[in-house]
Amino acid sequence: MNVLVVGGGGREHALVETLAQSPQAQKVFWSPGNPAAPCGPKIEKCAVAADDLGGLATLAESRAVDLTVVGPEAPLVAGLADVFRAKGLRVFGPGRDGARLEGSKVFSKRFFLKHGIPTGRAEGFSDFDQAFAFAKRHPKPLVVKADGLAAGKGVILCRDHAEAGRALNQILREKAFGDAGREVLIEERLTGPEVSVMAITDGKDFRLLASAQDHKRVFDGDEGPNTGGMGAYSPAAIFTAALEQRVRAEIFERTLAGLQAERIPFCGVLYAGLMLTPDGPKILEYNCRFGDPETQVVLPRLKSDLAEVLLAACEGRLAETALEWTGEAAACVVLAAGGYPGVFRKGDPISGLTAAAAKPGARVFHAGTALHEGQVVTNGGRVLGITALGPTLRGAVDRAYAAADAIAFDGKHCRRDIAARAL
Ligand code: AMP
Ligand code: GLY
C-alpha cells in the first residue's frame, strides 16, 4: 500500500520511518516533510503544506495513497479528515467533531463531566467580569485555560484570584491567544505526578500504546517555562498494571461510550494527559494525535506492523489487531536552540549528525532543521530528538546522551536529567 504522512516535525519523522518498515508499505509520501531529514529509499517528500487540506487530498488521490496518517492537531481541528473521507480516502485521524476533544477545552471539559470521566472541576466563560467574579469566589489555586489551540501556551497556573485576574485579562481582553481565547476555562488546580497515555482507536475498540513520560519544562529538575517537550522515555514505571486497569475503565472506556452516545466517530489517537491525584487518575486534557516527543520513544519499541494496525483502525477492524512491544527501553533527548521556548536563533550549522546516528541503538529524528547550501542548519526551537533503545532504561538513557553529545551547534541546549525520575 501507499501511505502519506502529514506534518514535518520529529514525531512525523518517527512515523514515516516506522511506517516504511512495514513490508506492506510500498511507498511512504511525507508532506511537507523536512528536506534536511535523511530518509530511506521508500520515503518520498512532497511539498504540500499541512494546512492545505484540498491540496493534500489531491496529493493522496494522484499518488494512489491507501492510508493517510496525520501528525499535528491543527489540520485535524480544521477538518482534514472530513475532506479526505468525503472523497473516500482512508485517513487515520478524527474529523472536526472528534478533534474538538483537543481543539476546545470547554467542549472537552463538558464531555468529561457529562460522561463521568474523572477530571478537575471547572467552568467556562467568555465574559471577563463573570469569569473574574467566579475566580474571586474560589480563593484557591486555579488554572486558567484558553479554549482553543494555543501551541501549548494557553494554560496559566494561578496561585490566587489576583493571578487569575491577570490571566483572564490577558486572554479575554488583550486577546493574547487571539480567537483561541474567545472563551476560557477556569479549573481547580490538581496535584500529583503526570503521565501521558496514548491509545489507538477506531471509535469502538482501543489499543493502548506503550506508556511514556515527557519532560515539559525547559531546565533540569522541571524548572523554567513549559516547552513542547524536552525529552521522553518509555516505559514509564509510574504507569503500573493497577493504574492501567483504572485508566482503561475510567478514562478510555467511558470516553468511547461517550463518543458513541454523541455519535462522534473517532478513528485516530486519543492521547490522555493525566494527573495522578490523591483521589485517583484524573484527565487534564485530551490530544487527538500522537504526542511529540512521546512518539519518538514509543514507536521504536513497537514490534507490530504499524501500517497494518492503522489501516485496520481506519476500516473499523481494530479488534482484530494486537500491539507487541520489545522488552527494550527507549529514551529521547531533545536538542533545543538556545533561548527556546523564548526567542532563539535559526540558521546555525549542525555537525556530528552521522556520528550520532552511528552510536549503538541511536536514531536521530529531525524536528527544527533545514538545509542551507547542502549544510544542515537549525530552523526551530526543538531542533533534533535523539532516541536510543537499550536493554534497560539506564542503558537507553546513556546511549541517547552518548549520541546527543556527538552533535554540536551554537547555543545547543538539552536537559541532562531525561528519565532521571524513573532511574
Ligand atoms: P494541558 O494543556 O491542559 O495539558 O495543560 C498543560 C499543563 O498544565 C499540564 O501538563 C499540567 O502540568 C498543567 N495543568 C493543566 N491543568 C491543570 C490542573 N487542573 N491542575 C494542575 N496543573 C494543570
Ligand atoms: N508532548 C506533549 C504533546 O505532544 O502535546
**108 assigned to some structural domain:** no
Q: What does the pLDDT read at residue 11?
A: 98
**Beta strands in 134-293, from DSSP E residues, in sequence order:** 142-146, 155-158, 184-188, 194-201, 206-208, 213-214, 217-219, 223-226, 231-234, 268-277, 280-287
pLDDT score recorded for residue 150: 85
Bridge partners (DSSP) listed for residue 276: 281
Q: What is the pLDDT of residue 83?
A: 98
294 and 225 in one domain?
yes
Let me know whether 130 and 13 are in one domain. no
Domain CATH number, residue 136: 3.30.1490.20
Q: How far apart are CA 131 and CA 161, in angstroms?
A: 11
Say which residues have a Cβ less than 8 Å from residue 78's Cβ, sequence separation at least 6. Answer: 51, 53, 96
Helix (H) or strand (E) holding 53: helix 53-62
Helix (H) or strand (E) holding 389: strand 382-390
- For residues 231 and 222, is the Cβ–Cβ distance under 8 A? no
Find the helix or strand (DSSP H, E) in which 327 lies.
none
Question: Angle, nearest 10°, between helix axes 10-20 and 306-314?
Answer: 100
Query: What is the 213 CA–ligand 2 centroid distance (Å)?
Result: 10
Q: Could you tell me the maximum CA-CA distance found in the chain, to the nearest angstrom?
A: 61
**pLDDT of res. 138:** 86
State whether 206 and 314 are in the same domain. yes
- Residue 194 has which C-alpha cell? 503526570
295 C-beta closer than 6 A to ligand 2: no
In angstroms, rounded to a whole number, what is the distance separating the alpha carbons of residues 303 and 307? 12
**What is the model's pLDDT at position 151?**
78
8 Å CB contact between 400 and 360:
no
Q: Is residue 115 part of a domain?
A: no
Residue 229 Cβ < 6 Å to ligand 2: yes
Assess if residue 112 is contained within a domain.
no
From residue 298, alpha-carbon distances to 106, 237, 258, 329 in Å are 30, 14, 27, 9
Query: Residue 62, exposed/middle/buried by CB under 10 A (0-12, 13-18, 19+)?
Result: exposed
pLDDT for the residue 185: 94
What's the gap in Å between 68 CA and the centre of ligand 2? 21
Residues 77 and 128 in one domain: no
Q: What is the pTM of this model?
A: 0.95
Ligand 1, CB cutoff 6 Å, lining residues: 120, 143, 155, 157, 187, 189-190, 194, 216, 273, 284-285
Pocket test for ligand 1, best of 155, 159, 187 (most atoms within 8 A of CB): 155
Residue 220's domain comprises 194-320
Which ligand is closest in space to the CA of residue 155?
1
pLDDT along the chain (423 residues), means of 10: 98 98 97 95 96 98 98 97 98 98 95 97 92 88 91 85 90 90 93 93 97 94 92 94 97 98 98 95 96 97 98 98 97 97 96 97 97 96 98 98 98 97 89
